[in-house]
Structure 1
Amino acid sequence: MKEDPSKEAVRRLQALILRETGAPLNPSTNAEMASIVQSACGAVGEQIREAEPERSFVQREVTILLADLRGFTAITATLPAGAVIPLLNRCLGRMNEIVSRHQGVIDKFMGDSIMVLFGVPDKRPDDVQRALACAVEMQLAMVEINNQDHQEGMPELSMGIGINTGNVTAGKIGSDFYSEYTVIGNEVNLTSRIEAFSLRGQILISEPTFDRCRDFITVSEAMEVFVKGKAQSVRLRELYAIPSLNLEVPRMRKETRHSRRLEVRLPCSFRLIQNKVVMPKIYSATIRDIGYFGVLMETDQLLKAYDDIKLEFDLPLVDFKASDIYGKVVELEHDKSGHLAGIEFTSISHETNMKLQLYVQLLVMASE
């Protein structure tokens, strides 16, 4: 049987008074305090029951936005403990402002991720449009945040965003002691899978989301991916712009897609990542070209589109071993030498990123 929460509150108050005064309360004062706490708990419980006599749930179409800071765990490993929380709070605080302006509802913060709902508890005809505008402004805000952090010597942050629209179950989950309004269902899980496919600075949307606003946005061609829990492939599109609102994704995504690549032959090794776990088996490969945001890799191992990998290779001109680069397979080719995989970096530490940029710059100067 669950213990009355008022008793735990009394014990905590007793411990607090003892710690601050150095003396325990006498029995009669203890009894009076217990009565006050029990009355207060009873009043709060009654207010909750009056406000919501039944646990009601509704089925509703909702647009779900899930955003995640890419490589934040690796970045924080290089920072002093006192800098991590202010950095995260500054970023998520800015996201909170944007969500509020677009009338979204923050469902929860999950470490360095944020889940936002459009369509609950109040449904509006422009829920999808507001969700998409919110996503673009979030990515634009990341540029502002990075400009400020760069002046303070902080590492660059990047965010991946996934958006999906579908029917969910919405309502309060929990007990009288603690509850929260949230949504559950397959569409929530699918949003999480879509977000996992998104790259740095990228916004990916599902086909149902696209169907509800195809004349409102500019997007890429559809890409077919397979996600856990779905027997059939899922169609995704990358959001580029919202012309009517004069909103466009930051230049970083454009630079990533069109950045200069330089031919090299660098031995490298990689490991596959499955369910966010780095597998122990090491594969050998050769980097055929390299840029600020990715590499073209030749390998005997047959990779699949959107496989996640962890890379390791030496940068000879700068005498540095890059051992903390994570990437995603975004393109596959085949030639007479073997399998070629285009890798876009999804996470890279500040130090490695600086060394990589210096290495590429030296290659550029040597080629001119």
Structure 2
Amino acid sequence: MHKEFHHDAVRRLQALIERETGKPLGEAAQAEMADILHGMENPEGAAANGLEVAPREVTILLADLRGFTALSGSQPASVVIAALNRCLARLSEVVFKYQGTIDKFMGDSIMVLFGAPVARDDDVDRALLCAVEMQIAMRELNLAHLTERLPEVFLGIGVNTGTVMAGRFGSDVYSEYTVIGEAVNLASRIEALSLRGQVLISDSTYQRCWGLVSASAPMQVFVKGRTQPVSLRELIAIPSHKLKVPRQEFRRSHRVDARLPCLCQRMQDKIVVPHIVHGAIRDIGYHGLLVELIEPLEPHSEIKLEFELPLVDYRVADVYARVVTLKQEGDEWVAGLEFTSISAECRAKVQMFVQLLVAH
């Protein structure tokens, strides 16, 4: 590439970014872009800019838009695409503000790197600032959705810090700069476990920023590919920057499809009735389940449950739930049950079961 071509490429990319985001890149970002373009041609330049394949510590932010399935089912394709592009453009602005690198868009998800191809001392700090401001941006976008009578869209975010292999992968026909490794896989698992409006961070990320952020107590979760639980925290706020993750009025637990036989017994005057109602669990979450029954239960009544959780080799017993919804489907009844009494051990096993299916 000649100098004139570099200048033209930077100008064209600058115009593209400004057109999509409404905001031009600053001088420092333009210079960084020019260095990257130069490194693509010059192997020595590539090495200097970190484009050779080599291990390096990176903070990975994965964000997934939740709610586009409902949007796609109720709106024309043109409306869905316009809404998706608006969300991704706004999120991209936040990424550029905190000097992150967009690694890729994956449908309605976005993967962002801090520490590659350029590493800075405050990579972790900027990643978390970016995550919080992304959630704030989504609240603003949802206000726009309300004025257009569109369903709300939420964002789940997972952040992890670790060593990856970073560089240009591919062939002479096609190649791209990206990162691979277990730290990327874990970031993906963490994002999958995040609820709507939530930012979950790994212990390795928290250890590098504990003086900066306000976060929840550690929670132990099970993810695919690991035999031991992983410690995660929910990011609440960054007090020194007066940034706080907007709280959602109601965050749904993960609910996963499951076909599990279930035994139900009615309660009468706080005593378990001997008669057993056979059912099949249709889906299960942290706080309850949906069960198909051959006979109805009394709405708002309390029942005793028994069922097996095969993935974690555990039998759920002496668990009580309330019938919160009930409807008839053909010859069967479908009841929505909310746990009312469950031991700490049993709750942990239910959550482990759900987490393993989410990560499957």
TM-score normalised by L of structure 1: 0.61
Match of residue 87, structure 1, among 78, 83, 86: 83
Which residue identity is paired with 1:52? P
Match of residue 300, structure 1, among 297, 306, 310: 306
Match of residue 242, structure 1, among 235, 238, 241: 238
**CA 1:170–1:333 in 2, change beyond 3 Å: closer, same or farther?**
farther
Which residue identity is paired with 1:178? Y
Partners of 2:228 and 2:247 lie apart in 1 by 34
Match of residue 175, structure 1, among 171, 175, 195: 171
Partners of 1:173 and 1:66 lie apart in 2 by 20
Partners of 1:248 and 1:211 lie apart in 2 by 20
Identical-pair percentage: 51
Match of residue 101, structure 1, among 73, 97, 101: 97
Contact 2:195 2:251 in 1 (8 A): no
- Which residue does the alignment assign to 2:146? 150
- Which residue does the alignment assign to 2:120? 124
**CA 1:332–1:62 in 2, change beyond 3 Å: closer, same or farther?**
farther
- Which residue does the alignment assign to 1:219? 215
RMSD after superposition: 3.9
Contact 1:158 1:200 in 2 (8 A): yes
Alignment of 1:207-356 (within 5 A): 207-252=203-248, 255-256=249-250, 270-272=281-283, 299-301=305-307, 333-334=341-342
Residue deviations 1:295-334 (CA, integer Å, cap 9, x gap): x9975335699xxxxxx98578xxxxxx9x9xxx9x9952
Residue deviations 1:70-91 (CA, integer Å, cap 9, x gap): 2422331121121111010000
Partners of 1:287 and 1:168 lie apart in 2 by 55
**CA 1:176–1:199 in 2, change beyond 3 Å: closer, same or farther?**
same
Contact 1:162 1:203 in 2 (8 A): yes
- Which residue does the alignment assign to 1:28? none
Aligned residue pairs total: 256
TM-score normalised by L of structure 2: 0.62
The reply on whether 1:200 has 2:200 as its aligned counterpart is no
**CA 1:248–1:339 in 2, change beyond 3 Å: closer, same or farther?**
closer
- Which residue does the alignment assign to 1:189? 185
Contact 1:299 1:339 in 2 (8 A): no
State the 1:339 CA deviation. 8.1
- Which residue does the alignment assign to 1:6? none
Alignment of 1:21-32 (within 5 A): none
State the 1:232 CA deviation. 1.3
Which residue identity is paired with 1:218? S
Residue deviations 1:8-65 (CA, integer Å, cap 9, x gap): xxxxxxxxxxxxxxxxxxxxxxxxxxxxxxxxxxxxxxx9984238983110000000
**CA 1:155–1:58 in 2, change beyond 3 Å: closer, same or farther?**
same
Structure 1 segments unaligned to the other structure (5+ residues): 1-46, 259-264, 275-280, 290-295, 306-311, 317-322, 343-368
Partners of 1:287 and 1:131 lie apart in 2 by 50
